[in-house]
Structure 1
Amino acid sequence: MARVSQAHLDARRRQILDGARRCFTRNGFHATSMQDVFQETGLSSGAVYRYFRGKNDLITAVAEEAFERMRLAFESASHEAPLRPLADVIDGVLTHVLEEQARTSGVDRPGAFAELIVQVWSETLRDEGLAATLNAGYDRMRAMWGKVVRTYQEAGHLRADVPTDHLVRALMALVQGFILQQAVFKDVEAELRSGLRALLSPHA
C-alpha cells in the first residue's frame, strides 16, 4: 500500500477546514451538522473523522486559525518601516483579514468573518475547551500587541506614562468592538473606520 505524503495529508485537512468554515459562515455553528460538512467537502465520514473527532474539534480548529491569521497580520504590519500611523495599521489589517477570510469562506462580504468571530465568542460561554483555546490565543495576541505598542510609545506616538498592557487591552477592545458592531449592525464599516482614525490619529 502506497504511503500517503504529508503534503496530501495537509491538503486534505485544509479541504476539510475550508469546507467547515463555509458551512459555519452560512449556517452558524449549531445549525451545521457533520453531514453538512461531508456534503460541502465531498468527503466520506471516515475521511473527515480521520482528522477531526467531531464538530467541536472543527469549531476549535477554525477559531484557532482565524485568530492566528489576525495575529500574524498585525505582527507583519508592525515590522514595517518607517512606522505608519497606528490607525492605518489597524485599519489595514482589519481590511486584509476580513476580506481574506470572507474570500476563503466563499462569501463575498467582509462582515461574514465578523459574524464567525462573534459565534466563536458566544460558544466559549458553554465550551470550556474552546474557551481555553481562545484565552491562549488572546494571550499570544496581547504579547504581540505589547511589542507593537512599546515601539509606538518609544517613538512618541503613544503616551509613555501609561502601562503598555493597559494600552494593549484598550486597543484590543477597540478592535473587538469593531468586529462586534460589523457583525450585528452590518453597514457601519465606513463610520467605524472614520471613528477609528479620529481616535488614534494626532490632532491636526
Structure 2
Amino acid sequence: MPKVSDRYRDARREHILTAARRAFLRHGFHATSMQDLFAEAKLSSGAVYRYFPGKEDIVLAIAEDNIREVAELIRTVTARRPGDSLGAVLAAAVELISEKNKDSGLAGIGVQAWSEALSNPRIGVAFGQLLSTLRSDLADVVSRHQQTTALPSEPSAEALAGVMIGVLVGHLLQLALLGPDAVADTPAALRALWPAT
C-alpha cells in the first residue's frame, strides 16, 4: 500500500475543515450532524473520522486555526515593520480578519465557537488556552513597543494585550452581526486611536 504524504494529509484535513465551515455557517454547530459534514465534504465517515474523532474536534481545529492565523499575522506585521504603532498592527489584523471572513465566514464561525465554549467544558478549556497563548503573544509585541517607542510602561503589556484582544473580538462580533460595511472604517479608527509614537 502506498504511503500517504504529509502534504496529502494536510490537504485532506483542510478540505474537511473547509466543508465543516460551510456547513456550520449554513446550519449552526448544533443543527449540523456528522452526516451533514460527511455529505458536505463528499467523504465517507471513515475518511473524516481518520482526521477528527468527532464534531467537537472539528470545532476546536477551526478555532485553533483562526487564532493561530491572527497571532501569526501580528507577529509577521511587527517583524516586517517594527516601527509601526500598535494601532497599525491592530489595523492590519482586522483587515486580515475582514478579508478571511469573505473567504471562509471566519466571523460567523468565531461567534458560534465562542458560544459553544460557554456551554461545552472541553471547548471552553481549549479556548481559554488559545486565548492565553494569543494574549501572551500580544503582550510580547506590546512589551517590545514599550521598550522601543514612547509607549508608556504602565499599564502592563498584559493589560494592553487584553484590550487588543477585546478589539479583535469586538471586530469579529460586529462583522458577523452587522456585516462588512459596519466595520469598514475600523482600520482607520485604530490607526487614529493608537497613532505612531
Same fold (TM over 0.5): yes
The question of 1:158 aligning with 2:176 is answered: no
Matches for 1:11-50 after TM superposition, within 5 Å: 11-50=11-50
**Contact 2:91 2:188 (8 Å CA) reproduced:** no
Task: Say whether the 8 Å CA contact 1:25–1:113 is kept in structure 2.
Answer: no
- What is the rounded CA distance, in whole Å, between the counterparts of 2:120 and 2:157 in structure 1? 31
C-alpha deviation, 1:61, in angstroms: 1.0
Name the SS of the counterpart of 2:29 in structure 1: coil
| Structure 1: gaps of 5 or more residues | 106-111
1:101 Cα deviation after fit: 4.9
Give the equivalent residue in structure 2 for 1:116.
Answer: 109
Percent identity at matched positions?
35
1:202 deviation in Å?
5.8
Instruction: Give unmatched runs, 5+ long, in structure 2.
Output: none
Which protein has greater RCO, CA pairs closer than 8 Å, 6+ apart? 2
Say if 2:107 and 2:176, in contact at 8 Å, map to a contact too.
yes
CA distance in 2, matches of 1:125, 1:6: 34
1:14 counterpart letter in structure 2: E
| Letter paired with 1:24 | F
Aligned length: 196
> 1:17-42, CA deviations, whole angstroms, 9 ceiling, x for partnerless residues?
12112222233212222222112211
TM norm structure 1: 0.86
| Higher helix proportion (structure 1 or 2) | 2
Letter in 2 for 1:20: A
- The correspondence of residues 1-204 of structure 1 with structure 2, limited to 5 A, is 1-103=1-103, 105=104, 112-186=105-179, 187-201=181-195
* TM-score normalised per structure 2: 0.89
The CA RMSD over aligned residues, in Å, is 2.0
Q: Which residue identity does 2:66 align to in structure 1?
A: A
